[in-house]
Amino acid sequence: MNYLRNQIKLIELPTIKASNLDVFSTLSEDILGIWGGDGYFQQINSTWEKELGWNDSDLRSRSGIDFVYPDDMELTYTAVARCTPGKTVEYQNRFSHKDGSYHWLSWKLLKNEHGVLYTLAKDITDLKEAELKAQESEARTQKLQQTNTQLQIEIEQHQQPEAALRHSEEQFRRVFDEAPIGMTLAALDDCYIRVNQSFCTMLGYSKAEAMALTFKDITHPAELELEMPCMAQIINGEIDSFDLEKRYIRKNGEILWVNLTLIALRDQAGKFLYTLAMIEDITQRKYALEALQKSEARYRGIVEDQTELICRFMPDGTLTFVNDAYCRYFKQEQYDLIGHSFMPAIPEEDQEIVTKTFFSLSQSEPIVTCEHRVILPSGEIRWQQWTNRLLFDEEGNAIEFQAVGRDITPLKQAEAEIRKALAKERELGELRSSFVSLVSHEFRTPLTTILSSSELLQRYAQKLSDEKKQSHHQRISTAVTRMTQLLDDVLTIGKAEAGKLKCQPVVMDLAAFCSDVVESMQIGAIPKHQINFTSSGNCSDAYMDENLLRHVLSNLLSNAIKYSPQGGEVKFDLVCHGDSGVFRIKDSGIGIPQKYLEHLFTSFQRAGNVGTIQGTGLGLAIVKKCVDLQGGTIDVASELKMGTTFTVTLPLKYQAPDDADSIGED
């Protein structure tokens, strides 16, 4: 009906020319027309003349009701009266053809606010005739069955008085000869003993010609193979009757489809006497059924060939149809799906969304698109997008849903990747800003120290004592060292991020190496802090990267000293056991708040309680990179104002992984 509404909208658009409407009407295979309020046609398309013989002038010259079959006029008036603006009315009546006959038409009417009727009709004469023939055939079959029953009774009562027998025979002959369907009586040799006129007319033979034939002469060769076994069972007494759809060959060579009912007539002892055959011409019905089956097959072929998932289901989710693509997607057969609800395959958190989507549909808004997840039989969760349409019957009642769906999992994954990339981009932007701010701040302090000390030495060198000069030189040296360390940290983290920080292990004595690191750190820490180093186990034959290990220990010891109070103790324990070396560094400093532990090893991240203690936020990031590169692990335990313990575990005999020897390499 949306089609008819669209026609009306097109007709009522003032910008569309009449010639365009004529072309549109001409292209339609339906019978289209516009009736004015006076009952006369205002416009028709060419299908009228094609289907009913009436041209434009014929129809415009008379009122539309004049063409309606008299017995259908009251029905037509009622249908027109029920038609109000915006409401569709459907009915059927008989409409005259120009040749004087009447054709059955199925009408759909829609009235606009000006009282003009827009009509769409289809010729359903063939369908009506097929229905009538089917009803007549059923009536004939019932009558024939009744006749056959009576005939059987009369045959079994053949010993009744002669008068009754003659009456029975006369009645049988009358029914046999006047039957509207073909009837034959044949003997054991298949020769016809009696045939009626309907049988002769059906096949195009005279009675004399028909009596000279057998059923084999008129049966299509392909059906003989099916019928002969049934005939053998009849003669042998295994069955008393059978029904068969078969093809006859008419005298002119045409093929005739019939429904054959064959009954065995026997004497009281059960001995075979004759076969009584009742033949109904079902050619038209057969061809109509074949046409319907072909149409359904074409529709199903179109649906089954689609790559999209297509289904129909009831309001409770019970499936009534699924196409092959739907079955392939869920890896199930149609009989496993039809009759069952699809809702259990949708995660519970998505079911409410889907249900609300269904309830939002109406006649005014019958289509909606929704996205939800689905659980496959394998347990895999996929994303789907469905376009759901609510279908209504002629009374406007919702009957079922039709849906077309597709898998959008790759699209959803792409969206997630895009969101992840955008988040990463924002994070990188924030890191760049933090880096610029941090570097500018960290460089400003030592540069200021260098500048002030050098200016003092330049201007007042002759006035300064040797001790003061030495102090300024030491300040400049310390500032340069600090800047060098900062640059080294930046370069190290840059190499790690770029995948260029390599692990190059050598044989080494871990205990001696750690002692050297402690000694170098202790020089800068005295007299403020004391580093207590202990070692246990066999650590003399390790195979590690000295440079990476120095980064790890130097940064951890530097932090332990930096965040511990003056005079505080830093404990450094080395334990070599089995295949692993464990480095444990414990301070008695300010500790790390719990909420900062998660991002502790991220570049430029520092705890919120460091106050004015200088730092870049790169040290622990470098430690994590160097530990990972050597195949180790790092753990941290901290308590506010009580101190922090870092535990690094590294393999004593480093073995490079098969697929890479540096961070970030693919």
Task: Write out the CATH class of domain 502-651.
Answer: alpha beta
Q: Are strands 88-96 and 41-44 parallel, antiparallel or unpaired?
A: unpaired
β-partners of residue 215 are none
Please check the confidence at residue 143 and state whether its pLDDT lies above 60. yes
pLDDT for the residue numbered 27: 63
Are 230 and 218 in contact by the 8 Å Cβ rule? The answer is: no
pLDDT at position 428 over 90: no
Strand 530-536 to 569-577 pairing: parallel
Q: What is the pLDDT of residue 662?
A: 44
pLDDT, the chain, mean: 81
Q: What pLDDT score was predicted for residue 574?
A: 93
Q: What is the pLDDT of residue 431?
A: 59
Contact 239, 230 (CB under 8 A): yes
Between residues 477 and 335, which one has the greater pLDDT?
A: 335
pLDDT digits (tens, 9 = 90+) for 282-321: 888 888 888 777 766 666 666 666 778 999 999 889 999 9
Mean pLDDT confidence for 480-494: 66
Flag whether pLDDT at 468 surpasses 50.
yes
Compute the 3-state secondary structure of the chain and give helix, strand, coil in percent, each to the nearest 5: 45, 25, 30
Coil, helix or strand at residue 396: coil
Q: Which of 279-288, 444-453, 514-523, 560-569 has the lowest mean pLDDT?
A: 444-453
pLDDT at res. 224: 85
- Return the residue matching tokens 């009369």: 154
Other beta carbons less than 10 A from residue 638's beta carbon: 20
Distance CA 405, CA 71 (A): 49
pLDDT surpasses 60 at 1:
no
Highest mean pLDDT: which of 165-174, 507-516, 557-566, 610-619? Answer: 507-516
CATH class of 129-288: alpha beta
Average pLDDT of span 168-182: 81
CATH topology of domain 306-407: Beta-Lactamase (3.30.450)
What is the pairing mode between strands 182-186 and 102-111? unpaired
* CATH class of this structure's domain 413-482: mainly alpha
pLDDT at residue 16 is higher than 60: no
Residue 439: predicted pLDDT: 63
Q: What are phi and psi of 443, to 5 degrees?
A: -80, -30
Q: What average pLDDT score do residues 585-595 get?
A: 80
Residue 664 has pLDDT above 60, yes or no: no
pLDDT category at 155 given cuts 50, 70, 90 is low
Residue type at 584?
A: R
Reported as a pLDDT band with limits 50, 70 and 90, residue 604 is low
Buried b or exposed e, range 426-438, using 16+ CB within 10 angstroms: eeeeebeebbeeb
Q: Where are the domains of the chain?
A: 2-123, 129-288, 306-407, 413-482, 502-651
- Architecture field, domain 2-123: 2-Layer Sandwich (3.30)
Q: Which whole-number Å values give the CA distances from 618 to 186, 305, 363, 573, 605, in the listed order?
A: 109, 60, 64, 24, 8
The predicted model gives 377-390 an average pLDDT of 93
- DSSP E strands, 137-200: 182-186, 192-195
- Pairwise CA distance, residues 413 & 556, whole Å: 40
Mean pLDDT score, 460-476: 76
Furthest C-alpha separation in the chain:
167
Taking the CA of residue 156 as centre, how many other CA atoms within 13 Å lie in the half-sphere pointing to its CB?
Answer: 8
Write a three-state SS string for 198-235.
Answer: HHHHHHCCCHHHHHCCEHHHHECHHHHHHHHHHHHHHH
pLDDT at 457: 74
Q: Express each pLDDT in 224-267 by its tens digit.
A: 888 888 888 988 889 999 998 999 999 999 999 999 999 998 88
As a whole number of angstroms, the distance between CA 71 and CA 64 comes to 15
pLDDT at 6 over 70: no
**Low-confidence winner among 100-114, 173-187, 201-215, 599-613 (lowest mean pLDDT):** 599-613
User: At 166, is the pLDDT very low, low, confident or very high (cuts 50, 70, 90)?
Assistant: low
- Cα-Cα end-to-end distance for the chain: 61
pLDDT for 128: 86
Report field, pTM of the whole predicted structure over 0.75: no
Per CATH, 2-123 and 129-288 having the same topology is answered yes
> Whose structure tokens read 């376009």?
387
Average pLDDT, stretch 551-558? 86
Cβ atoms 48, 55 nearer than 8 A: yes
Instruction: Output 486-491 pairs: Cβ under 8 A, ≥24 positions apart.
Output: 486/439, 486/442, 486/443, 486/616, 489/616, 489/618, 489/619, 489/622, 490/439, 490/618
Using only the alpha carbons of the chain, give its radius of gyration: 50
d(CA 170, CA 168) in angstroms, rounded, equals: 5
pLDDT over 70 (residue 610): no
Mean pLDDT throughout 167-196?
84
pLDDT tens, position by position, 34-81: 988 788 888 889 889 888 899 988 888 888 888 999 999 999 889 888
Contact 533, 574 (CB under 8 A): yes
- How confident is the model over 442-446, as a mean pLDDT? 62
Dump pLDDT digits (tens) for 27-37.
Answer: 677 899 998 87
Mean pLDDT of 68-96: 90
Least confident of 362-366, 428-432, 519-523, 622-626: 428-432
Across the range 418-432, mean pLDDT stands at 74
What is the per-residue pLDDT for 251? 93
Q: What percent of the chain has pLDDT over 90?
A: 28
pLDDT at 175: 80
How many whole angstroms separate alpha carbon 297 and alpha carbon 311? 17
**What pLDDT score does 138 carry?**
86
Q: What is the mean pLDDT of residues 529-540?
A: 88
Q: Is the per-residue pLDDT at 381 higher than 90?
A: yes
CB atoms within 10 A of CB 629: 22
